Amino acid sequence: MKKHKFVFVSFVCSYSFIFAAHSSADTASEQQGYAIASAVELRDEGFMDSRAILTMELQSKAGATTTRKLDISILENVAEGDKSLIKFTFPADINGTALLTHPDKAKSDEQWLYLPEVRRVKRIGSRNKAGAFVGSEFSFEDMTNKELADYSYNYLYSSPCSEISAQADEFAGKQCEVIERFPVDKHSGYSKQQLWIEKTDKKVIQIKYFDRKKSLLKVFTASDFKLYQDKYWRPDLVEMVNVQTGKVTRLSYQSIVFASGLSEQDFHRSSIGD
pLDDT in tens, 175-212: 999 999 999 998 999 999 999 999 999 999 999 999 99
Read off the pTM.
Answer: 0.87
Q: How confident is the model at residue 126 (pLDDT cuts 50, 70, 90)?
A: confident
Amino acid 117: pLDDT: 86
Top mean-pLDDT range of 60-74, 98-112, 158-172: 60-74
| Number of C-beta neighbours around residue 143 at 10 A | 20
What pLDDT score was predicted for residue 80?
86
Instruction: Please list, in sequence order, all residues whose beta carbon lies within 8 angstroms of the beta carbon of residue 11, skipping any fewer than 6 positions away.
Output: none
Question: 3-state DSSP call for residue 233?
Answer: strand
Measured CA distances, 132 to 129, 170, 249 (Å): 8, 30, 11
Task: Please tell me the predicted confidence (pLDDT) of residue 168.
Answer: 65
CA distance 179 to 173: 20
Cα–Cα dist 90/92, whole Å:
6
Return the pLDDT at 167. Answer: 62
How far, CA to CA in Å, does 4 sit from each of 12, 16, 181? 12, 18, 44
Task: Say which amino acid occupies 221.
Answer: T
Q: What span, in angstroms and rounded, lies between the C-alpha atoms of 133 and 142?
A: 9
Residue ranges per structural domain of the chain: 50-271
Give the pLDDT confidence of 25-73 residue by residue, as tens digits. Answer: 578 899 999 999 999 999 999 999 999 999 999 999 999 999 999 999 9
Distances (CA, A) of 96 to 66, 72, 114, 133: 17, 13, 8, 15
The pLDDT, as a whole number, for residue 22 is 43
Of 98, 130, 126, the residue nearest 267 (C-alpha): 98
Q: Is the pLDDT of residue 24 over 60?
A: no
Determine the pLDDT at residue 165: 65
% residues pLDDT > 70 (the chain): 89
Q: Where residue 79 falls among pLDDT bands split at 50, 70, 90? A: confident
pLDDT at 164: 84
pLDDT of residue 18: 35
Instruction: Give residue 213's pLDDT band: very low, low, confident or very high (50, 70, 90).
Output: very high
Identify the pLDDT of residue 7. 38
What is the average pLDDT score of the chain?
Answer: 88
Strand 65-75, strand 83-90: pairing = antiparallel
% of the chain exceeding 90 in pLDDT: 72
* Mean pLDDT (whole number) for 92-113: 89
Residue-level pLDDT at 244: 98
**If pLDDT is split at 50, 70 and 90, which confidence band does 12 have?**
very low
The Cα 269–Cα 274 span in angstroms is: 10
Q: Using pLDDT thresholds of 50, 70 and 90, give the confidence band for residue 8.
A: very low
Tell me the per-residue pLDDT of 135-165, one tens digit each, with 9 for 90 and over.
999 999 999 888 899 999 999 999 999 888 6
Q: Per CATH, is 50-271 categorized as 1.10.579.10? A: no
- Residue 117: strand, helix, or coil: coil
pLDDT at 128: 86
